[in-house]
Structure 1
Amino acid sequence: MPDIADLEIFARVVTAGSMSAAGREMALSPAVVSKRIRRLEDRLGTRLLQRTTRQIALTEAGQGFYERIVAILASIEEAESYVSRRSALARGTLKVSAPTSFGRMHIAPYLGEFLDKNPDLGVNLVLSDDFVDVVGEGFDLAIRIAELADSSLVVRRLAPTHRILCASPKYLEKHGMPQSIDDLAEHVCLAAAHQDPWRLEGPGGPIAVRASGPVQTNSSEVVRELTLAGVGIALRSTWDIGPDLSAGKLKIVLPDYRASKHVGVYAVYPSRRFLAAKVRVFIDYLAGLYGPSPYWDKGLDAVLNRPTAAE
């Protein structure tokens, strides 16, 4: 099959009337234009143009070929224009992966507003606590809460996330408030299997605390419910327990100790090049919704702004 670029050069030579004129229009030298025309003729096995020192003329085969490729090139241009228009407009279905709890609490409640602003868009929100294969599973983007390492994916930080120790008033009344990090050895410490041990930063630098308690689970949501029920102390993200802290259902324990500040809420997607409008508007919407001081941290400035030894 002939190279599309060769077809475009041939059509431009015919409309421009000479190879030099076509070359000027396409920013190509006459020698390159001539070489590409010869290559096209060699591939087709026939002469398309009669050349003289001053002008060119179509052969009979060249005339018929030109009439047919003009329609083909017009169709290609229309197809490219169609794709470009779609890329410039937020339309279609956006497939998004997000952690279960975060997606339920901080994405789902705002989808209505997002869709009102983008009526030509639909959203397929898949909630999972696994790190999905964004490319392999056909996701447009994934929301991840992590300290992300180098990746072949493009990453945009949407918000900081802070993880602090907390417990219910019921638990603290029964077992007392820990006064030092060493006191945790005498307390029930709750963690899902993938969150054990706790890696904290405090006045003495980094420290790992092994969680131990009467319940084992793979669910972070179960840990949250156990903490609210007064079973033990947990390391929780403020996006998860902000309302519970404000309502007095939970209290902060050992405020000088927190998980790494490098953990954040990120949008990850396959490529920055030719980023579809539907992906861009969704990421921009979430970035505007959360921001560097997300709404779930409201009222926690006194604790979150405390420096640790690592800072």
Structure 2
Amino acid sequence: MMSDIADLEIFARVVTAGSMSAAGREMSLSPAVVSKRIRRLEDRLGTRLLQRTTRQIALTEAGQGFYERIVAVLASIEDAEAFVSRRSAQARGTLKVSAPTSFGRLHIAPYLGTFLEKNPDLAVNLLLSDDFVDVVGDGFDLAIRIAELQDSSLVVRRLAPAHRVLCAAPGYIEQHGMPLDVDELAHHVCLAASHQDPWRLEGPHGPVAVRASGPVQTNSSEVVRELTLAGVGIALRSTWDIGPDLSAGRLQVVLPQYRASRHVGVYAVYPSRRFLPAKVRVFIDYLASLYGPSPYWDHGLDEVLTVRNAAE
């Protein structure tokens, strides 16, 4: 079908240019190729469209009627292509986004107003879940994931690092003591949501896995955070989640020599880089500029961590 449309375009260009050689120059085709495509079109239609002489061409009666009709068709196709191109170049429509519950509430929702002001033709459908959604199957334009992502058929862009530290409330440490080595965690209450177990840590002697065990089972990361603040146990939390609690002293770092894998990050994942819709591109660019390699939620935490570790 596409080659048929191309033949129509060549025929129309020959008519307007007045000769096959002139049409060929305009379309960067040789006269021989133009002549061959016209003959193919005539063979397919079963009629002669052009009368050819050594100097000029003339439309046959059938060719005149055919030309008058295809000009409108080609104009409609050009208009349709321009419409799609404009939509691809402009951020418009509804953007369907998946994000982890806590992260979406803390670090996406507060900034949607500014994003929508900059993109008035966009609407956002933000769905929060701690499950890994099927981006393609569930019809999402993109998903925000906080993980150490493996090879995937999806396209991935890192938006920010995601530092995670072991932490506990001062009241828990006062009652149960501060663990001095990772092995001592076996004697402490370790809190984790079902999708966070086991903890994979990197320490002075390499990677280590710790299986969290505690009196509460939950699939909610937010529940774990509240339990930790309430002094129930030790948890592995992201600094984007507990930064203000560390700064205010409501939580303190446990075993600072151990951290979650440095490869964990905040990522945008989306189905394809080819023909990326403008609405997806502008949203990813917005989040990347908002977070960056030194995200705002980590500002000041180096000093807080240093002071607390020294005090211990």
1:263 corresponds to: 264
**Residues 237-268 of structure 1: per-residue CA shift (max 9 Å, x gap):** 11111111112111110011001011111111
Q: Which residue of 1 aligns with 2:26?
A: 25
Counterpart code for 2:159: L
Kept in 1: contact 2:144–2:266 (CA 8 A): yes
The corresponding residue for 1:252 is: 253
Tell me, what secondary structure is at the counterpart of 2:22?
helix
Tell me the SS of whatever aligns to 2:275: coil
Equivalent residue letter for 1:218: N
Equivalent positions of 1:75-114 (< 5 A) are: 75-114=76-115
Identity %: 88
User: Residue 219 in 1 paired to residue 216 in 2?
Assistant: no
- Cα gap change, 1:304 to 1:277, in 2 (>3 Å): farther
Partner SS state of residue 15, structure 2? helix
- Per-residue deviation at 1:301? 2.2
> Cα deviation per residue 1:128-172 (whole Å; 9 max; x = unaligned)?
222222222221111111111222222111100011100011111
Whole-angstrom distance in 1 between the partners of 2:136 and 2:305: 36
More off after superposition, 266-275 vs 73-82: 266-275
Query: Cα deviations across residues 80-114 of structure 1 (Å, max 9, x unaligned)?
Result: 11111122222211111111111111101111111
Mapping for residues 59-208 of structure 1, pairs under 5 Å: 59-208=60-209
Aligned AA (1:183) = E
CA distance in 2, matches of 1:303, 1:210: 28
Pair 1:39-2:43 in alignment: no
In structure 1, how many angstroms separate the alpha carbons of the residues matched to 2:30 and 2:112?
54
Q: How many residues align?
A: 305
TM-score (norm 1): 0.94
Deviates more, 1:78-87 or 1:161-170: 78-87
Contact in 2 for aligned 1:193/1:218 (Cα 8 Å): yes
Q: Distance in 2 between matches of 1:19 and 1:183?
A: 86
Deviation string for 1:61-89 (max 9, x for gaps)? 11111111111111111111111112222
Deviation at 1:302, TM superposition (A): 5.0
Deviation (angstroms), 1:304 = 7.9
Uncovered stretches (5+) of structure 1, i.e. residues with no partner: 306-311
C-alpha distance 72-270 of structure 1, shift in aligned 2 (>3 A): same
Unaligned residue ranges in structure 2 (runs of 5+):
307-312
State the one-letter code of the partner of 1:73. Answer: L
TM-score, normalising length: structure 2: 0.94
Counterpart contact for 1:162–1:304, Cα < 8 Å:
no
Asked whether the equivalents of residues 199 and 208 of structure 1 are also in contact (C-alpha less than 8 Å), the reply is: yes
Alpha-carbon separation, structure 2, partners of 1:214 and 1:55: 92
Letter in 2 for 1:137: D
Tell whether the 8 Å contact from 1:255 to 1:303 is kept in structure 2 after alignment: no
Which residue number corresponds to residue 51 of structure 2? 50
**2:288 paired residue number:** 287
The equivalent residue for 1:309 is none
**Deviation of 1:273 (Å):** 2.2
Letter of the 2:133 counterpart: V
Q: Answer whether contact 1:190 1:211 (CA < 8 A) is retained.
A: yes
Letter of the 2:234 counterpart: I
